[in-house]
Amino acid sequence: MRSALIALIAAIPAVANAQSYYLDIYNTAPSSLVALAAAPAGTGAFDAIALSSQPVHGGGDSATVAFDKSHGGCTRDLRLTFADGRVLEQRNFNVCKFRSYHTGRYWRNASADRKLVAKP
C-alpha cells in the first residue's frame, strides 16, 4: 500500500506538466472546413491536427482540438483549409487565452484563389 502511494505521489509532477489547452473551432463560414494545421508562432512548422472523420460543416458545426502547452507554448499560427479551396492563416493566436475560434468573419475576406492571413 505504501509503495503504491509513493508511486502515485511521484507521478503527480508528470501529470501536472502535461497540460493541454482546448480550442473549440466553430465553422461559421458557408464552406466546410476540411483541414487544420498549427505551428508555434512564426516558425512555419505546421503539423496537421485531426478534426474528425468528416469535414466540419459550414453554418455552425464545431470541433474541439487540444494543444499541448509543452509543444509550442501558448501562441500558435493556425492554417485552416476549406472545401472551396480557401486557405486561412491565423497568426499569433493565443490558445491559452482564447477558448474558441469562429471562422466566418475571416473567411468572408478571403477569395478562393489566394490565402488570407489574419492577425489578432
**In a structure prediction context, what are the per-residue pLDDT tens digits for the chain, which is 120 residues long?**
444 434 444 444 444 456 888 999 999 999 999 999 999 999 999 999 988 788 999 999 999 999 887 777 899 999 999 998 888 999 999 999 999 999 987 776 665 555 555 554
Cα 22 from Cα 96, distance rounded (Å): 8
Which domains does the chain show, CATH number per domain? Answer: 20-118 (2.60.40)
Contacts of 79 (CB under 8 A, 6+ apart): 35, 36, 37, 38, 39, 46, 87, 88, 89, 90
Mark out the alpha helices in the chain (DSSP H runs): 2-17, 104-107
For cell 489547452, the residue is 21
